[in-house]
Chains A and B, each alone.
Chain A
């Protein structure tokens, strides 16, 4: 066995070709990180354009059709090209093998294929955007999506292809976690991030094929007028909603579960304590993955489904809150009497906990049929899912980016600047979306380009918050890019973390570990001197 040729995966081959043909999970993770960040930027630009349009009543910068296309592209880009792949495909790929002591994922070539499928799907979607883009919203509700004259087909096809990328990634993680754990690394010793990615993979593998099928049906409806969702031919548009939300509600947990994994890691590392109630966090991860499949009907309270159906779906949706509460309780318990280091990842963690708690509690209110009908299709819903999907997921994404930046690049970033940017981002989010809750409660419908003048002050407040956010992201991009070249050399474990991934060098060598690692202790086990919990 020859020793590793290069000192890190970054220097093992410097040509573009060596990156494009790599089977190294770390390089693939980095490629996903770069790709998803690009689409995050694109989706953010779309979002800003929407906010600027809504600055004044009437036409501000674009017409109504352009606005409809803009919010569709914003949704499609953010959901499928950023939030779903961001943490599992980028950080999951980079970290899962490191955390379980493997040399790579189970199917490295399949892993590379998932990058190319993502690129192909994203290109097809982009092509649709240049063709004018769809104006259906990211949900493609029939019958509108089957009759509108805009470029729906390429967007459908793009999302369909990206779905395959998601499935392959999930399949790979399931096989990796099952078969490639280092000797002695039992299930109940897996890091919580690995558990979260595992739970996410199960959802990805089970839900995404159904999305693929329903997209094919819509495409067929557009091409040959098949009538599956067309009442005039005996079809039923509601079937589309059932099939679509069977995927797309679990998809919310594809976005949030990995985030929860990141937060579990960060909370442990920055309070220097063992994860509180590790087993319950694991079980709640699986619980969310399971219950997530029985909640889709809460998107259809206003569709005329039976009262019993609505009640059952409402109750199932509320169950998610119980599993989520277990996690929040675990993070609080971990922070409690911890030796807290207020670094940037912990700022984002606290932001995440606030957004998840606030947005989640409002989610419980939405799961109540009567309240749901009041808020149905208003800005309230927009604000709610942005709190959870953007507030929480992006917080966790930024926490992950900052926490593992030294691992990936071998460099540190300027800490005070990062903390300042984190505060800016958190307040930017609150300023952007709290006015939208109020707007929705006052009756401002979602998806509208125009509104009566009395809504204007809240819209201006929201746009101001969005500008603050944009400025915060520019700051982060600036100092992280600077740190890549000029940041202090990190050393192997700059945070003093007990996470398994820090046991290899930073940045890691190509095959992660010179010898098969052993993990005699559980994950996140910190030698503690302080008083144990009063429990």
Chain B
């Protein structure tokens, strides 16, 4: 048998790219299931306490929630444009767009912080610390517990995403990526879209009634 190079499949860029994509999709599936536990809990308790949950929803700051939705969707568009730019071999533009998206992520977290401060002031903390007078019935603290868990877990993901986008943005601006090596930007983009999509479920169930 003629000896052939070991690079046959393992070394090839195509196989590695395919593996990276698949790995990211599987990871996204696990992330969705992580949130699925909380969405399930929300669904269960919303069906048990429909009035209390509706009353609690009315106290939410819809304006800030909507602003955040707008920020996140815009940043997602910027990331999509960045991926396109890198694929077109314009890593400098891609880097700028990625950093802009990361900046919007930071603003998102700031707005979230303002909201959290308001909840703390009102006494809408989770669990035993719950003191919110407007929705005093049994079950109301559950809404706020789930609110903090869902938005908190989402904020953790935003924070990670901001870090990822910043690193990718700086490296892209430095010319590390291009038409031939766009995979890291694409994977980072997928992650940011996931964060965006999760918010698009979190926002209506918590803020809109």
**A1: which B residues are within 8 A, CB to CB?**
5-7
| The residue from B15, B125, B128 contacting A180, defined by CB atoms under 8 A apart | B15
| Given known A-B contacts A210-B37, A236-B44, A516 and B127 have beta carbons under 8 A apart | no
Residue-by-residue, is A173-200 near B (CB-CB < 8 Å gives 1, otherwise 0)?
0111011111100000000000000000
The answer to whether B19 and A243 have CB atoms under 8 Å apart is: no
* Chain B residue with the shortest CB-CB distance to A101: B9
Q: Does A171 contact B (CB under 8 A)?
A: yes
**A213: which B residues are within 8 A, CB to CB?**
34-38
Q: Does A103 contact B (CB under 8 A)?
A: yes
The answer to whether A182 and B19 have CB atoms under 8 Å apart is: no
Q: Does B40 contact A (CB under 8 A)?
A: yes
Residue-by-residue, is A200-235 near B (CB-CB < 8 Å gives 1, otherwise 0)?
000001111110111011001100111110000111
The answer to whether A226 and B127 have CB atoms under 8 Å apart is: yes
* Chain B residue with the shortest CB-CB distance to A225: B128
The answer to whether B6 and A516 have CB atoms under 8 Å apart is: yes
Cβ of A528 to closest chain B Cβ, rounded Å: 26
Q: Does B74 contact A (CB under 8 A)?
A: no
| The residue from B3, B9, B34 contacting A182, defined by CB atoms under 8 A apart | B9
**B45: which A residues are within 8 A, CB to CB?**
234-236
The answer to whether B22 and A234 have CB atoms under 8 Å apart is: no
**A414: which B residues are within 8 A, CB to CB?**
none
How many chain B residues touch A (CB < 8 A): the figure is: 46
**B145: which A residues are within 8 A, CB to CB?**
220, 226-228
| Given known A-B contacts A225-B127, A226-B145, A234 and B139 have beta carbons under 8 A apart | yes
The answer to whether B127 and A175 have CB atoms under 8 Å apart is: no
Q: For chain B, residues 1 to 24, give those with C-beta under 8 angstroms from any C-beta of chain A.
A: 1, 3-10, 15-16, 18-20, 22-23
Q: Does A515 contact B (CB under 8 A)?
A: yes
Cβ of B149 to closest chain A Cβ, rounded Å: 7
Tell me the bound Cα distance from A167 to B33 in angstroms: 12
Q: Binding site of A, secondary structure by majority: helix, strand, loop or mixed?
A: helix
| The residue from B4, B23, B35 contacting A516, defined by CB atoms under 8 A apart | B4
Q: Does A335 contact B (CB under 8 A)?
A: no
Q: Does B126 contact A (CB under 8 A)?
A: yes
| The residue from A103, A217, A221 contacting B6, defined by CB atoms under 8 A apart | A103
* Chain B residue with the shortest CB-CB distance to A110: B23
Tell me the bound Cα distance from A426 to B134 in angstroms: 65
| The residue from A225, A226, A239 contacting B44, defined by CB atoms under 8 A apart | A239
* Chain B residue with the shortest CB-CB distance to A172: B23
* Chain B residue with the shortest CB-CB distance to A106: B19
Residue-by-residue, is A495-523 near B (CB-CB < 8 Å gives 1, otherwise 0)?
00000000000000001011110000000
| The residue from A103, A176, A209, A243 contacting B31, defined by CB atoms under 8 A apart | A209
Q: Does A107 contact B (CB under 8 A)?
A: yes
The answer to whether B41 and A212 have CB atoms under 8 Å apart is: no
**A216: which B residues are within 8 A, CB to CB?**
149
**A110: which B residues are within 8 A, CB to CB?**
23
| Given known A-B contacts A210-B36, A213-B34, A234-B138, A178 and B126 have beta carbons under 8 A apart | no
Cβ of B176 to closest chain A Cβ, rounded Å: 19
The answer to whether A239 and B19 have CB atoms under 8 Å apart is: no
Q: Does A53 contact B (CB under 8 A)?
A: no
Tell me the bound Cα distance from A103 to B142 in angstroms: 51
| The residue from A171, A207, A242 contacting B27, defined by CB atoms under 8 A apart | A171
The answer to whether B26 and A171 have CB atoms under 8 Å apart is: yes
Tell me the bound Cα distance from A209 to B38 in angstroms: 11
* The 6 A-B residue pairs with the shortest CB-CB distance in the complex, in nearest-first order: A213-B37, A516-B8, A234-B139, A225-B128, A226-B127, A106-B19
Give me 14 other A-B pairs in contact (C-beta within 8 A), A213-B35, A515-B3 excluded: A102-B10, A107-B23, A167-B30, A175-B26, A178-B18, A179-B18, A182-B8, A208-B30, A210-B36, A220-B149, A224-B126, A224-B127, A234-B49, A243-B41
